[in-house]
Amino acid sequence: MDLRKLKTLIDLVSESNIAELEITENEGKVRIVKSGGATFAAPVMTMPVAAPAAAAAPAALPPAEAPAAPAVTGTVVKSPMVGTFYASSTPGGKPFVEVGSSIKSGEALCIIEAMKIMNEIEAEVTGTVRQVLVENGQAVEFGQPMFVIE
């Protein structure tokens, strides 16, 4: 895809109420996602793109009115790479882990597909899965929280 066309599409998404746009052409597929004011384009890997200043930051709430982030207890397992999250080894199969599952260090938690390679993600701690923070088939970013284990 032509760089000027990509830039035009990114600007269009940044300035509109569209949250996500996916375009497929002969050369490949591009996915543009607007997240919290920033716009990202992903041909194969997601790359941050500067959004226009006017659309970049909505009016901030004063510190006293800002919503409090929920406290997370336990170990947060983060994605070691950009890719697609899969909860099981086969489509429609039983997930590796679910909320309440007891796991041991080294046990498989999920698979992340990156560039047509399936990467099994293993638990680094022994415990119980308290939260699964991503859905099957969802794109994940590097460092994105996926599980909470206590």
pLDDT digits (tens, 9 = 90+) for 99-138: 999 999 999 999 999 888 889 999 999 999 999 999 999 9
Q: Which of 84, 78, 14, 88 is nearest to 44 (CA)?
A: 84
> Structural domains in the chain?
3-56 (no CATH), 75-149 (2.40.50.100)
Please compute the mean of the pLDDT values over residues 137-148 and round it to a whole number: 92
Cβ contact 46:139 at 8 Å: yes
Please compute the mean of the pLDDT values over residues 31-51 and round it to a whole number: 54
Tell me how far apart the alpha carbons of residues 142 and 131 are, in angstroms, rounded to a whole number. Answer: 19
Model confidence, pTM: 0.52
Residue 41 has pLDDT above 60, yes or no: no
